Amino acid sequence: NYSNWDYSDQGANWVTKFKLCAGTKQSPIDIKAPTCDEGLNNSITFTNYDKTGSSKFTFENNGHSLVLKAPGPDAKVTLGSLGTFNFHQLHFHWGKDDTKGSEHLHDGKVFPAEMHLVHINSKYSTFQEAQQNADGLAVFGVFIKVGQAENTAFNFLSSSPSLIYEGTKVNVTQFAINTLLPTDQTIFYRYKGSLTSPTCDEIVTWTVFDQPISLSASQLAQFRIVKDNHNKTLVDNFRVVQNLNNRTITYWSE
Ligand code: B30
Ligand code: ZN
């Protein structure tokens, strides 16, 4: 909280305070010219992503984003031979208007928002431990476009008027996390990268789904009313795309 960085220049100045942000495997990137990898076939297995119940999620303003947290290891994903990763939290990046907002681009195309589902490798017990290891996290990226209909899976966004200030939070009744995902979870892009905000650790196996999800214009508006860690309207909380350098992006699709 009250951290010493913000999005005022899309992250360009972070490198002076946070050395890892100047690394060669940074995120986000523009996803283009991926290489087909048959080995990615059927490689995501979801467990408890369909679970509903009476336990509480929390939805909070951390000064950089709106974050939905699960109470403990429950939902998890297995990425083939890469291992099993426990769901930790999901959060969003969005624009001041619909012309910008996503962190990743797809063939140069930008979306009005992007959702990130953060998972911690089950071989590590804390986020801090995972942060010390190149295989620490698996983050799923989902592009968000604007659609006509309300997306009822995202009804929890209606609590954003209670989350105007950094540090505020509300309880949300547990719901099935898979209702937030695109219907086609078989086409995705995979690459090795970093946290997209300081301290920019290069510990993330990124999986970005090809198919976007839709939120209505009024649902996107619910992001744009909250304030950041300087008490200014929190919009454009995305980092500029980074160089791919010596990395490959892989994909698989039927
Ligand atoms: S992102 O998905 O690359 N945008 C963090 C997680 C995901 C991304 C960026 C940053 C992150 O967790 N940063 C450290 C802040 N954490 C610290 C922690 O100890 O536990 C707070 C948090 O949730 O948001 Cu987990
Ligand atoms: Zn993120």
What ipTM is given for this predicted complex? 0.92
- The rounded Å distance from CA 42 to ligand 2 centre is 25
| Number of residues that this document lists for the chain | 254
User: Which residues, 6+ apart, have CB-to-CB distance to 151 below 8 Å?
Assistant: 213, 214, 215, 216, 219
Q: Of the bound ligands, which one is closest to the alpha carbon of residue 114?
A: 2
Residue 2 pLDDT class (50, 70, 90 cuts): low
Phi, psi values for residue 236, rounded to 5° = 55, 45
Residue 22 pLDDT class (50, 70, 90 cuts): very high
Average pLDDT (19-35) is 97
Strands (E), the chain: 30-31, 35-36, 44-47, 56-61, 66-69, 76-79, 84-94, 105-106, 113-121, 137-147, 169-173, 188-193, 204-209, 213-216, 250-252
Average pLDDT (37-59) is 90
Q: What pLDDT, on a 0 to 100 scale, did the predictor assign at position 76?
A: 97
Average pLDDT, the chain: 95
pLDDT at 167 over 90: yes
Q: Using the Cα atoms of residue 94, residue 154, residue 182 and residue 250 in order, give the sign of their dihedral.
A: positive
Ligand 1 atom with minimal separation from the 103 CA = 4
pLDDT at 1 over 60: no
Nearest residue by C-alpha to atom 17 in ligand 1: 127
pLDDT digits (tens, 9 = 90+) for 53-102: 887 899 999 999 999 998 877 999 999 999 999 999 999 999 999 999 99
User: pLDDT exceeding 70 applies to what percent of the chain?
Assistant: 99
- The rounded Å distance from CA 146 to ligand 1 centre is 26
Residue type, 181: L
Q: Which residues are marked as active site?
A: 64
